[in-house]
Amino acid sequence: MNAAAIPAMPAFLLRQLGLQAGTRALLEGIDAQLPLGRFTAIVGPNGAGKSSLLKLLAGLQAPSQGQVLLHGLPLAAMPLAERARQLGWLGQFAAADLPLSLHDYVLLGLRPTLGSFGQASAPDLARVASALQQFDLLGAQQRRWGQLSGGERQRAGLARLLVQDAPLWLLDEPTNHLDLKHQALLFRRLRAEVAQGRTIVAVLHDLPQAARWADHVLLLGEGRLLAQGAPADCLSAAELSRAYQWPVRLWPDAAGHWQLAVGEVA
């Protein structure tokens, strides 16, 4: 079956979404659709409200205005336990120290399945081992959290998401702390997950990577949605320059790799 031929259903529908912090509007009047079973990238300059938007999608914060619909139903009405089975969220800043080993940490991904009291079964533990293996962490699994490098913590977070196994992943700058190889491996991995039907929404800083790997892009600037759609359509020089308030141009070269040019202004 050709996935591209089927019009993508929205996983998330955002209606006039707004978020206030005191008197300051972090997000304002966002109307958007995030397709199901696709990779959506949220891009924009610092302070544009990308992480705030991701938290609203995860239901970790309640919007001040408007609403988030997940599969057509208001996210706010979804019980917490069900939300944890539907949505996996990985924040930007992992704790610097935890009294847990890497293995204990990844094991917590089973919390939505097991509830407060359930015992992990042998297949559950096998899933944890497989997640550790897939993110190249088997050798470090007994190390304490404080001894892990930033990259290992980032990969541990992804392994925890894999164990949690929610059909939708919300990732806040998942390439943070990752070296070039692990970034490439991560994006391949995310594409493979999407090919298997997972929906991924990621806040990304790197425009060429967003353009290369994402199916759908939301471009934010100063709390507003400036453009949404396929990368080639909505990451035009005009839109990008408006978002970043700086001359920016993004284009695919002959090999299909995206190139970025950042201009100089007087």
Partner 1 sequence: MPTSEARLRWPHRPPVFAPLLAGLYGLLPRLALLAASAGLIVFALGFAGDGWQWPDLADPLVSALRLPRVLSALLVGAALAAAGAALQALFRNPLADPGLIGTASGAALAVVAVMALGLVSIGLPTAAFIGALLSTWLLLGLSRLLGGGEISLLLLGLVLGSLAAAATGMLLFLSDDLTLRSAMSWLSGQLGSSTGAPLAWAAPFALAGIALLLAMGRELDCLLLGEDEARSLGVPVERVRLWTAIGAALAVGAAVSVAGIIGFIGMMVPNACALLLGGGRRRLIWVSSLAGALFLLLMDTLARGIAYPVNLPVGLLAGFIGPLCFFWLFRLRARRLA
Binding positions for partner 1, rule: CB under 8 A: 55, 58-60, 80-81, 83-85, 87-89, 91, 93, 95-101, 104-105, 108-109, 111-112, 114-117, 142, 144-146, 164
Output the smallest distance, CB 187 to partner 1, in A.
22
Taking the alpha carbons at both ends of the chain, their separation in whole angstroms is: 53
Q: Which is nearer to partner 1, 4 or 80 (CB)?
A: 80
Q: Which is nearer to partner 1, 115 or 247 (CB)?
A: 115
Say which residue the tokens 């707004």 belong to. Answer: 18
Q: Which is nearer to partner 1, 12 or 244 (CB)?
A: 12
Output the smallest distance, CB 93 to partner 1, in A.
7
Contacts of residue 43, Cβ cutoff 8 Å, sequence gap at least 6: 50, 203, 204, 205, 207, 210, 217, 218, 219, 220, 235, 243
C-alpha–C-alpha distance, residues 206 and 212, integer Å: 10
Output the smallest distance, CB 238 to partner 1, in A.
34
Q: Which is nearer to partner 1, 109 or 174 (CB)?
A: 109
Output the smallest distance, CB 82 to partner 1, in A.
8
Say which residue the tokens 């962490």 belong to. Answer: 137
Q: Which is nearer to partner 1, 69 or 108 (CB)?
A: 108
Distance of CA 126 to the CA centre of its chain: 25
Output the smallest distance, CB 208 to partner 1, in A.
26
C-alpha–C-alpha distance, residues 176 and 142, integer Å: 23
Q: Which is nearer to partner 1, 12 or 213 (CB)?
A: 12
C-alpha–C-alpha distance, residues 250 and 252, integer Å: 7
Output the smallest distance, CB 195 to partner 1, in A.
24
C-alpha–C-alpha distance, residues 99 and 101, integer Å: 7
C-alpha–C-alpha distance, residues 88 and 165, integer Å: 7
